[in-house]
Amino acid sequence: MINKHIFAFVFLLFPILIFGQCNYNTNRVYDVTVKQFEPSLVAYDENYQIGAALGKVKKDIILTILIRFNGNAKEIGSDLLVFTDGKEAVNLEYIDSQKDYMAGSEISLNKFKIKENQFQHIKNQQLKTFRFKFANEEINRTFQIEKNKTVISAQLKCFTSN
């Protein structure tokens, strides 16, 4: 009797486990469909909280890096170098950056294009670090990925499978 209940529970839970990770928002902006995941916290220290999420506009897949600042927000002014547990790093092309205000803190929203030839590398790896420069700074900033190391991989699998 217990085995039947366990089987029924697993059977009902299985679709949630398989498709639950593909829970993105879909909007239409100027007759263009935009799919966007909510940002997940991936790195942090005493001055920054960094979230990452993918979005899809037409066939373009965009990585959005949201940075919450302890003080004044800064925009990213460079490409994003993504280190994974694979042997090579991936350089994502900078698209744009903007400042905003959210939940009592200044933030910056930064967008980077993931090219088709980068899909496979990112899709099959865990994140290790992000490296970039803030606008008007000469120094590279490197942030160790502390949480949700597979979130971008899982999101990319959703976008490239449909």
Q: Which residues on neighbouring strands pair with residue 107, listed in sequence order?
A: 68, 100
Please indicate, yes or no, if residue 141 is contained in any of the structural domains. Answer: yes
What is the pLDDT averaged over residues 15-21? 45
Q: Find out whether 97 and 110 touch, Cβ atoms under 8 Å.
A: yes
Higher-confidence residue of 151 and 17: namely 151
Please indicate, yes or no, if residue 116 is contained in any of the structural domains. Answer: yes
Please indicate, yes or no, if residue 79 is contained in any of the structural domains. Answer: yes
Q: Find out whether 70 and 59 touch, Cβ atoms under 8 Å.
A: no
Task: Tell me the residue range of the domain where 93 lies.
Answer: 24-161
Please indicate, yes or no, if residue 8 is contained in any of the structural domains. Answer: no
Q: Which two tokens stand for residue 18?
A: 């398989």
- 0.85 exceeded by pTM: no
What is the pLDDT averaged over residues 95-116? 94
Q: Which two tokens stand for residue 24?
A: 């993105």
State residue 112's pLDDT score. 97
Residue at 42: amino acid letter = V
Give the number of domains in the chain. 1
Q: Quick one: CA torsion of 50, 115, 80, 89, rounded to 10 degrees?
A: 100
Please indicate, yes or no, if residue 17 is contained in any of the structural domains. Answer: no
In our burial notation (b when 16+ CB lie closer than 10 A, e otherwise), range 128-143 reads eebbbbbeeeeeeeeb
What is the pLDDT averaged over residues 64-79? 95
Please indicate, yes or no, if residue 56 is contained in any of the structural domains. Answer: yes
Q: Find out whether 116 and 58 touch, Cβ atoms under 8 Å.
A: no
24-55: per-residue pLDDT in tens? 999 888 888 899 999 999 999 999 999 999 99
Please indicate, yes or no, if residue 18 is contained in any of the structural domains. Answer: no
Please indicate, yes or no, if residue 82 is contained in any of the structural domains. Answer: yes
Beta strands 32-36 and 25-29, pairing class: antiparallel
Indicate which CATH number applies to the domain containing 47: 2.60.40
